[in-house]
Each structure stands twice: as structure tokens, then as C-alpha cells.
Amino acid sequence: MKLLSKSDDETKELGRKLGEKLKRGDVVCLYGELGSGKTVLVKGIASVFGINERDITSASFTIIAEYDADVPFYHIDLYRVAAGKASELGLQEYLGGNGISVIEWAERAEEEIPENSIKVNLNYAGDNMREIEITGMEL
């Protein structure tokens, strides 16, 4: 499924719609270059679980941010993880367990990611335009 977002708010709204369909154990993989809107989308997803969007950040040194929401929520950002090093993070403890995981730069942990994960590709399509393609889930 391919959609066009014209603003931050539209991307957040898309995140909310996606979040509403998630259940415990789901893994959402986000792909797209710097500034393509991955973290904006995570804010929308997290809001469904009662997490304030301001608490979702791109902190430089946090790889795994854990939120004790209604459902455990893990925001994982692999940007600073070197190729081949993702296996050392113990991601299996989070992925597919009791909670919901959303992973930015998921291509850096290809081997660790369960096959049935939901995949979202974000691409620039102009200043405030982003093309967003979702596979593994219908909204």
C-alpha cells in the first residue's frame, strides 16, 4: 500500500492509524534516508499507547528506548550501529515478545528481524511530501 503525506501531521496521523492495528509482539521496520520522517511516524504510532510524542526523540546515544506504556513499547534506532554489530545488541529480548517494537534503520539488523514484521518505506517526494509504502499490513 502506497500513500502520499503532505506534512508532519499527516505522517503522524498515518502513524496513529498504523498503531491502532498493532498487537503485542508486532515489529515495525522503518526504512528511509535521513530526515525522511521515520521518527515523526514513530511519534504517531507511540501516541496510540499513551506516550507523549515529545518523549519520542532521536537522542544521539540511545539505541533502545523503552516505554512502560499500556503495552511495553520499544523505539529502536540503529543509525549508529555499525554494519554487522546489531547481533550484539540482544534485540531478541525485545522483538516479538510482550511488547511492540518500532525500528529505525532496520536494514542494519536484517538478520535479527522476524520474517512477519511490518515494513514501512519512506521516501522524499518534494519539500514536505513523503511517499510512504507499507507492506505486511492494510490500514
> Using CB under 6 A as the criterion, which residues of the chain lie in contact with ligand ATP when the complex forms?
5-8, 10-11, 32, 34-40, 58, 79, 104, 128, 130
CB of 72 to ligand ATP, least distance (A): 22
Distance CA 113, CA 87 (A): 10
Answer yes or no whether residue 38 interacts with Mg ion by CB under 5 A: yes
Answer yes or no whether residue 39 interacts with Mg ion by CB under 5 A: yes
Rg (CA), the chain: 14
Q: Is 4 left (phi over 0), alpha (psi -120 to 50) or beta?
A: beta
Give residue number: closest CB to Mg ion: 39
Tell me which of ligand ATP, Mg ion, none is bound by residue 18, counting a contact when its beta carbon lies within the kind-specific cut-off of 5 to 8 angstroms. Answer: none
Tell me which of ligand ATP, Mg ion, none is bound by residue 40, counting a contact when its beta carbon lies within the kind-specific cut-off of 5 to 8 angstroms. Answer: ligand ATP
Answer yes or no whether residue 36 interacts with Mg ion by CB under 5 A: no
Q: How many CB atoms lie within 10 A of CB 90?
A: 10
In the complex with ligand ATP, the residue whose CB is nearer, 2 or 79, is: 79
Q: Kindly report the CA angle at 25 between 90 and 94, in degrees rounded to 5?
A: 15
Place of cell 538478520: 111
Which of 7, 52, 58, 92 forms a contact with Mg ion (CB under 5 A)? 58
Place of cell 534503520: 105
